Amino acid sequence: MGTASGDQPAGASSDKLRHVESMSELPSGAGRISGINAVVLGESLAAEEHDLVYPSAEFSADALVPSPKQYQKMYERSINDPAGFWSEIADAFYWKEKWNPSEVCSENLDVTKGPVQISWFKGGKTNICYNAVDRNIEAGNGDKIAMYWEGNEPGQDGKLTYSELLDRVCQLANYLKSVGVGKGDAVIIYLPMLLELPIAMLACARIGAVHSVVFAGFSADSLAQRIVDCKPKLVITCNAVKRGVKPILLKDIVDAGLAESEKQGVAVGLCLTYENQSAMKREDTKWQAGRDVWWQDVVTSFPTKCDVEWVDAEDPLFLLYTSGSTGKPKGVLHTTGGYMVYSATTFKYAFDYKPSDIYWCTADCGWITGHSYVTYGPLLNGATVLVFEGTPNYPDSGRCWDIVDKYKVTIFYTAPTLVRSLMRDGTEYVTRHSRKSLRVLGSVGEPINPSAWRWFYNIVGDSRCPISDTWWQTETGGFMITPLPGAWPQKPGSATFPFFGVQPVIVDEKGKEIEGECSGYLCIKKSWPGAFRTLYGDHDRYETTYFKPFAGYYFTGDGCSRDKDGYHWLTGRVDDVINVSGHRIGTAEVESALVSHPKCAEAAVVAVEHEVKGQGIYAFVTLVDGVPYSEELRKSLILTVRNQIGAFAAPDKIHWAPGLPKTRSGKIMRRILRKIASKQLDELGDTSTLADPGVVDQLIALKDC
């Protein structure tokens, strides 16, 4: 289990980096690796017996961080001299006023020593929109494509250069100012993945307004909760969107949300509505005169020049609501300066970004990934970003690779759920496309199990693209533990090592740090520039949730294992840990074992009460297409888990699942699975955000099979 220790020195722990330190020279071929089951990027497939995937000499030679030695040098500087390290990086951006050199970072993470507070670049004044757009134009890149847009239907597309993007942002910013939106005012954005979504985010940032993007799959009640909490000056939406062949009437949802918020005492007098003609005609849209305004009727008449509102580094940039265990959403508040520097830097290094790259992140801007790695991080680096409105399986499961070939995408960043879904559909949808442009892959949202990692690497990336398997959270603002392509060998399923400035520690139940090979609670020691500063209007909850469990640390809520080589393996949320007869078993660990079975396409595991063991393991299993349910297969799946983890982790119940309840972003709704497993069918709650609500009825029908 490792050894517990007291206070650790501020410097990098050589034990945690021992494996990296030992690999200052990367081999040029697998044949040179003695005693290690390994392959080299581009030379062969990664099979189950291969524990390590090395970058090729060619890839490393051109990488921003080309070796473990270079990473170690930069990492140790970032820990031992954070003020100097981050100041040098921040200097690359434009600041109207420089920060106080003696106050680059100020923090208290220990609730026993006073209120928790974090600040970075105190006294500095800047603007993230200016740095993401104007600065690139001034550098001579005004004619470079900032954003490609691919619509729901193949053939629907668009693009904006950086100069065109600035014009559009300024027009909307001027409109917002004309209706009274100013510095510090909240604006709720409820839009699908049209170009107008990042434009709206940037327009708010330009004038110092605080945007709160609400994923356009949330119900009217969820939207109303957010309206009541942040009291926006206006809501920005569109009349409708198509997801595949299904039209979704977003304006109707907004109307209902506004009506509900008004009942709760918060009236919003303006709803700016974009006419999405491909989904619904203007005349078919329900309308409330005096409140509703068409975007196209007003915004396009405003000037294409808009002065920048220079804001303090610690002024709010955005609110993003994330689910809480109490059911009330938490308004995660990010500020400007530190978030700008951190989102830009993590994007640059984790994807080994080059100016010629075409970058595609499949996430929606309604989630933190769409903030940091669709909008801000890429644009701050002057990148060309692809924005996709549609779904990955429409009109068929080859859509992603159609898009990759069409735009010559070089960096592809997606979720393990999507990878597993595409695995289930078979390799032919992938292999009929070239994908030769791809050079880096990425994974986000949850731990990626090794079998999905290998499929992503072998099939999608043709065994020649490293995978940045990133671990981070809405609260962290950017990547925390992530591979750096070209820097060190990867282990399928491991997030590997910490990003610059990040000090992850694994603690036991008493908050003691554990050294060496171990498992426990993942915490972060010391702050980093991208850290969130509070929960909007509820600093007590901020401290109670994140800093009181282990005084002096940010508690991530995740479990983590560190292997003998120092690699980090995320085991899922601590509340997704099942305690079976005293054994703590991560749901992700059991799911990974199930999915390694050749006939299992996807699995989701939840805890159920057990009269003997305290908690039992209940597994929902989706089989590969065409495989029939059978008792023999059920036994085989259970045996797989027994063999890989141990008899104590064997599922008590295998529940056949034609599909799993997922949001439109691909997140599995485990709350619903817990209710089904516990036979609490009258407490399923809101299923309106599911991509396919019919899946719930299918699961209920199969509960006794």
Half-sphere exposure of 669 (CA within 13 A, CB side): 24
Q: Tell me the two tokens of residue 387.
A: 């924005």
* Tally of CB atoms within 10 A around 620: 27
The residue type at 307: D
For residue 272, give the 3-state DSSP assignment. Answer: strand
Q: CA–CA distance from 613 to each of 330, 362, 580, 581, 652 (Å)? A: 34, 41, 5, 5, 11
In 526-640, at which residue ranges do the beta strands (DSSP E only) sit?
A: 534-535, 554-562, 568-573, 577-580, 583-586, 600-610, 614-623
For residue 650, give the 3-state DSSP assignment. Answer: coil
Q: What is the DSSP letter of 472?
A: -
- Rounded CA separation 42/534 (Å): 45
Sign of CA dihedral 534, 535, 539, 540: negative
Strand 330-335 versus strand 186-190 pairing type = unpaired
For residue 149, give the 3-state DSSP assignment. Answer: strand
- Rounded CA separation 697/699 (Å): 5
What does the radius of gyration of the chain's CA atoms come to, in whole angstroms? 25
- Rounded CA separation 506/513 (Å): 6
State phi, psi for 597 to the nearest 5 degrees.
Answer: -70, 130
* Burial classification of residue 68, based on how many CB atoms lie within 10 Å of its CB (0-12 exposed, 13-18 middle, 19 or more buried): buried
- Rounded CA separation 479/444 (Å): 10
The sheet with strand 503-507 has its strands ordered as 3-5, 513-515, 503-507, 518-525, 554-562, 568-573
- Rounded CA separation 524/503 (Å): 6
62, 297, 540, 575: the active-site residue: 575
Q: What is the DSSP letter of 682?
A: G
Nearest in space to 229 (alpha carbons), one of 352, 328, 316: 328
For residue 236, give the 3-state DSSP assignment. Answer: strand
Evaluate whether 579 touches 562 at the Cβ level (below 8 Å).
Answer: no
- Rounded CA separation 239/253 (Å): 10
Active site residue 312: no
Q: Tell me the two tokens of residue 327.
A: 């059911």
Distance separating the N- and C-terminal Cα atoms of the chain: 39
For residue 31, give the 3-state DSSP assignment. Answer: helix
Evaluate whether 377 touches 478 at the Cβ level (below 8 Å).
Answer: yes
Tokens 């999608």, located at residue: 460
Nearest in space to 549 (alpha carbons), one of 112, 2, 40: 112
- Rounded CA separation 349/248 (Å): 38
Evaluate whether 179 touches 191 at the Cβ level (below 8 Å).
Answer: no
Nearest in space to 590 (alpha carbons), one of 545, 540, 652, 528: 652
Q: Which residues contact 288 (CB under 8 A, 6 or more apart)?
A: 255, 271
**Residues acting as catalytic residues:** 575
